[in-house]
Amino acid sequence: MTRSTVYRRVNRVAAGLCERARATSVSDLHEAAYALGLDGRRRMLMSPRMRPQQKGARIAGPAVTARVAPGDNLMMHRALVLAQPGDVLVVVSDAPTSGAQWGDMAARWALKQGLAGIVLQGCVRDTDTVEALGFAVWATHVSPAHPGKAGHGSVNAPVVCDGVPVEPGDLVVADGDGVIVVPRRDAAAVVDGAEARMRREDALALQLAAGATVWELSGAAASYAKLGIDEIDAAFDDDPPHG
């Protein structure tokens, strides 16, 4: 990484769509993308190592991206200055444990500017203070390691964060289950699908309350019946001992 590229402008997913996405969940959006066949075209769901640092946090907003040099967070700070209210900062370090890319001072500024949160392939530090501040952070690592502010990188250019391609302006949604990144061009269809799924599940919840079973409503009973499984109405050790 020998040269920096910084784009000052972002073509963002619509604010109204972000608001609707925030009322859904990562799992609903993932299921909607799967049903539409979109997740096979481009990976959207980050791995289980990308974890929330605050219980109950939920965010949705357009991505503002930064790629930082190992042990450095200069480009994160530049992205932080360029970000707008409601944005989600997506920061990628190619050496994620080499230095802390996020801490309490950055969180204080982000809160003042109205950012939605940060998704970080790298280290967060000052975790107790950041949690107390209430700023939403998802990160792959925690470490107090010192970060420099002298390295090259990029801002608002495409990155790959925890294996997921992220372009500036894409829809980023994160909750207790993890993080999903929906390409801007697909966001409306995926949010529509997630909302439809939520309506279906609301109807199923009413059926459960009325006496239906998850075994039937989930489709498990029908799938099980197709397998032709032999069920034995006895315990496996009911046979008397031999000899």
Q: What is the pLDDT of residues 138-157, one digit of tens each?
A: 999 999 999 999 999 999 99
**Cα 216 to Cα 210: distance, rounded to the nearest angstrom:** 13
- Phi first, then psi, for residue 155 (nearest 5°) are -135, 130
Residue 238, pLDDT score: 79
Phi-psi bin for 171: left (phi > 0), alpha (psi -120 to 50), beta?
beta
Length of the chain: 243
pTM metric for this prediction: 0.90
The answer to the question of residue 27 being in a domain is yes
What does the pLDDT look like over 192-213, one tens digit per residue?
A: 999 999 999 889 889 989 998 9
Q: Are 2 and 151 in contact (CB under 8 A)?
A: no
Tokens, residue 101: 């890319």
The answer to the question of residue 220 being in a domain is no
The contacts of residue 68 (CB under 8 Å, 6+ apart) are: 74, 75, 76, 91, 92, 93, 101, 122, 151, 153
The answer to the question of residue 44 being in a domain is yes
Least trusted range by pLDDT, from 6-10, 20-24, 216-220, 235-239? 235-239
Which residue would you say has higher pLDDT here, 65 or 240?
A: 65
Mean pLDDT, the chain, whole residue set? 94
Tokens, residue 64: 């503002």
pLDDT band at 45 (very low <50, low <70, confident <90, very high): very high
Residue 168, pLDDT score: 98
Q: How many CB atoms lie within 10 A of CB 166?
A: 25
Instruction: Give the mean pLDDT of 13-33.
Output: 97
Residue 72 DSSP SS3: strand
The answer to the question of residue 218 being in a domain is no
Of residues 72, 84, 64, the one with CA closest to residue 172: 64
Give yes or no for residue 243 having a pLDDT over 60: no
Of residues 158, 164, 117, the one with CA closest to residue 10: 158
Write down the residue that tokens 């949705």 correspond to: 60
Pairing of strands 51-52, 137-142: antiparallel
Q: Which residue spans within the chain are E strands per DSSP?
A: 5-6, 51-52, 59-68, 88-93, 100-102, 117-124, 137-142, 154-155, 159-161, 164-166, 171-175, 178-182
Residue 2, pLDDT score: 62
Instruction: Give the mean pLDDT of 80-97.
Output: 95
Tally of structural domains, the chain: 1
What does the pLDDT look like over 230-239, one tens digit per residue?
A: 999 888 887 6
- Provide the residue range defining the domain that includes 22: 5-195
Burial of 118 (0-12, 13-18, 19+ CB in 10 A): buried
CATH number at residue 77: 3.50.30.40
Residue 14, pLDDT score: 97
The answer to the question of residue 201 being in a domain is no
Give yes or no for residue 1 having a pLDDT over 60: no
Residue 92, pLDDT score: 97
pLDDT band at 173 (very low <50, low <70, confident <90, very high): very high
